[in-house]
Amino acid sequence: MSNTLPSEPNATTAHIIKALEWILIPTLFFVIIGSFHIHMMLTAGDWDFWLDWKDREWWIVLSPVVTITFCAALHSFFWKNFRLPIGATFAILALLTGEWVVRITGFHAWSHYPINLVTPATFLAGAVAIDAIFLLTRSMLLTAILGAPVYALLFFPSNWAWLAAFHVPVELHDQVMTVADLIGFEYVRTGTPEYIRMIERGTLRTFGQHSVAISSFFAAFLSSLVYVLWWFIGKSFSSLKYIKERI
């Protein structure tokens, strides 16, 4: 077998290849927006839609675990076939594109909700990190053990940079709330009564206000497991199989 890499093709075939890639890459991007977005919005969507759902318990656990799925699937696809460590970033950029378009045109322009109430979470810090870790380790297993936890652990601190402002306390008619709670209360959602919020409701053991760290580490553990599972799901979908029998 030749020990050389494929050359740059000749001028004509290069154009064809380039044209095809310019068609296929955006095609993949839009399909991933669709698939990933519907996956996210119907599993962890409520936490992502609403400012006053971004708590210390559910949001920190669900968001990374639900999103690492497509990151892993695309890692499998891009790495196994192209040695491209871009799966997570590609997937997350697609997701965030889909989310932002609707938050602005749907939630804000159509339904009149302020942008600060419907800001999506960002996952890009973790996405780039897990991509980089994949490249450096070149191992699915090491990425699952090291990269997936990093992805989950970076989630809360990277979002706290913009979210912290909304956890400043205010008082409304003698009741203490966060600014996030207040915005959620004031900007009326007929479909979201207060009781429906699946947020931390207080337990006996919050370990001295370390809820965030506990939730983050739990998310890190779950992300590792989900990463492996979805690596193989991505591999299954990357099937070259043709079926001759009548389906």
Partner 1 sequence: MTKHFIKNTCISQRLTSLLACLLLILLVISEAAIAHGERSQEPTLRMRTIQWYDVSWSKDKIEVNDTVIVRGKFKISKNWPNAIAKPDVAFLNISIPGPVFVRTGSFVNGVNMVNSTRFELGRDYEWEVHLKARHPGRWHVHAMLNVEGAGPIIGPGQYVEVTGDHDDFINEISTITGEVINLDTYGLTNIISWHAFWAVFGFCWLAYWLRPPVLFRRYQAVKNGQGDELICKKDRIVAAIMLSLSITITFIGYQWAESQWPETIALQSASSPVEPLPQPEMAFVKTKLIKAIYRVPGRSMEMRIEVTNNTNHSIRLGEFNSATVRFINPNVGLVDDIAKKYPKHLLATHGLTVTGSPLIKPKQTVTLKIVAQDASWEVERLASLIYDPDSRFGGLLFFYNEFNTRYITEIGGTLSPRFI
Partner 2 sequence: MDTSKLKPQPLSYYLKGFKQFICAVLILFGVYLAAIWYQFSFAHLYGLEAHDPNFETYWMSWLYTEIVLEIIIAICLWSYLWVTRELTLDHVTPNQELQRYCTFSLFLAVYAWTLYWGVSYFTEQDGAWHQVVTRDTSFTPSHIMIFYLSFPLYIIAGVCTLLYAHTRLPIYQTEGVSLAHVILVAGPFMILPNVGLNEWGHAFWFMEEFFSAPLHWGFVILGWCGLGLLGVILQIMERVSEILNSLDTQNTLTQADS
Residue 167 CB coordination number (10 Å): 14
Residue 101 CB coordination number (10 Å): 12
From 19, 163, 32, 35, select the one nearest 89 (Cα to Cα): 32
What distance in Å separates the CA atoms of residue 233 and residue 190, rounded to the nearest whole number?
38
Report what 225 binds from partner 2, partner 1, none; CB cut-off 5-8 Å by kind.
Answer: none
Interface with partner 2, residue 115, by CB under 8 A: no
The DSSP output letter for 77 is H
Tokens of 194: 């207060």
Interface with partner 2, residue 101, by CB under 8 A: yes
Interface with partner 1, residue 101, by CB under 8 A: no
Report what 243 binds from partner 1, partner 2, none; CB cut-off 5-8 Å by kind.
Answer: partner 2
Q: Applying CB under 8 A, which of residues 164, 176, 190, 209 lies at the interface with partner 2?
A: 190
Residue 40 or 244: the one with the smaller Cβ distance to partner 1 is 40
C-alpha to C-alpha distances, 3 to 8, 79, 83, 138, nearest whole angstrom: 16, 21, 18, 21
Interface with partner 1, residue 71, by CB under 8 A: no
Q: Applying CB under 8 A, which of residues 11, 188, 204, 240 lies at the interface with partner 1?
A: 188
C-alpha to C-alpha distances, 175 to 117, 170, 178, 194, nearest whole angstrom: 20, 8, 10, 15
What distance in Å separates the CA atoms of residue 116 and residue 209, rounded to the nearest whole number?
25
- Beta strand 175-178 with 169-172 is antiparallel
Residue 82 or 207: the one with the smaller Cβ distance to partner 2 is 82
Interface with partner 1, residue 135, by CB under 8 A: yes
Report what 205 binds from partner 1, partner 2, none; CB cut-off 5-8 Å by kind.
Answer: none
Interface with partner 1, residue 172, by CB under 8 A: yes
Instruction: Give the number of residues written for the chain.
Output: 247
Interface with partner 2, residue 83, by CB under 8 A: no
Interface with partner 1, residue 17, by CB under 8 A: yes
Residue 45 or 126: the one with the smaller Cβ distance to partner 1 is 126
Interface with partner 2, residue 239, by CB under 8 A: yes
Interface with partner 1, residue 235, by CB under 8 A: no
